[in-house]
Amino acid sequence: MTSRADSRAIPGTKYGRWAVVTGASDGIGRAFAGRLAEAGFNLVIAARREKILEHLAEDLASRHHIDVRPVACDLATPEGAALLETSTAELDVGLLVASAGFGTSGPFLAAELRSELEMIDVNCRAVAQLVFTFGNRFVRRGGGGLVLLSSLVAFQGVPRAANYAATKAYVQTFAEGLREELKGQGVEVLAVAPGPVRSGFGERANMRMGRAQTPAQVASGALRALGKRGTVRPGFLAQFLELALKPLPRWGRVRMMGVVMSGMTRHQPHPVSLTRGAP
């Protein structure tokens, strides 16, 4: 359950009556949907898996007495993001949580190119498309919030997750620039950069993690930071890892992350493992 402090951190008048959460069927996206429902927002939840979305919508609506609209869409395609836009056209949406995404592990040159390009579509192109759509709506309504999912891996290259880290570097840089562009227009932009998270992500990407945060910790920490900071590393683990890496030069951080990724992927019987996630 969320705390009262979480709810107070999300004033509904500024962010509208409705929030849109992508990647809501699992992990961090699902945790965001739960926290926002507890805070009293009506929700549009988006993911590919229609049945899971419908069950989640029914559960959130009945427990929190809110309206919840599930939108089954594939954000790997421009049509998926466009469907989310048209499905929310008449709603007073003031908050977008773009948490859909998936990751990879293994050497890039041994990967399946089609899947790697699809990851760029979901993690980068869809984010840009949704931010353009909802960001313009928020400016017109005089306020809103954009929450974009970055990562600890966004701040340096990461061997054995090179393309995934690059997609998160795009999100981090995009959020930082947008925050300055939208300053003074009532639109808050937050980059959320967690460390390892205990969700289905690691299993789907075939990575074995030791210590990890929970999705609830990430969502709660992010919502507390919205409107106060430009980047948040929610939870003790993310902050500890940041402090451990910060003194190193960039090349040193790259090598250190390579050691970390080697540990997470040493169980792999083949040189690459690549699996689509659940946006």
Catalytic amino acids? 164
The answer to whether 145 and 15 are in contact (CB under 8 A) is yes
φ, ψ of residue 115 to 5 degrees: the values are -70, -35
Q: Are strands 104-105 and 273-274 parallel, antiparallel or unpaired?
A: antiparallel
Residue 227, exposed/middle/buried by CB under 10 A (0-12, 13-18, 19+)? middle
DSSP 207-240: ---SS-B-HHHHHHHHHHHTTT-SEE--SHHHHH
**Alpha-carbon gap, residue 209 to 205, rounded angstroms:** 11
Alpha-carbon 176 to chain mean position:
15
- Name the 3-class secondary structure at 72: strand
Does residue 156 come out as left (phi exceeding 0), alpha (psi in the -120 to 50 range) or beta? Answer: beta
Sheet strands (E) in 83-199: 93-98, 104-105, 144-149, 187-192
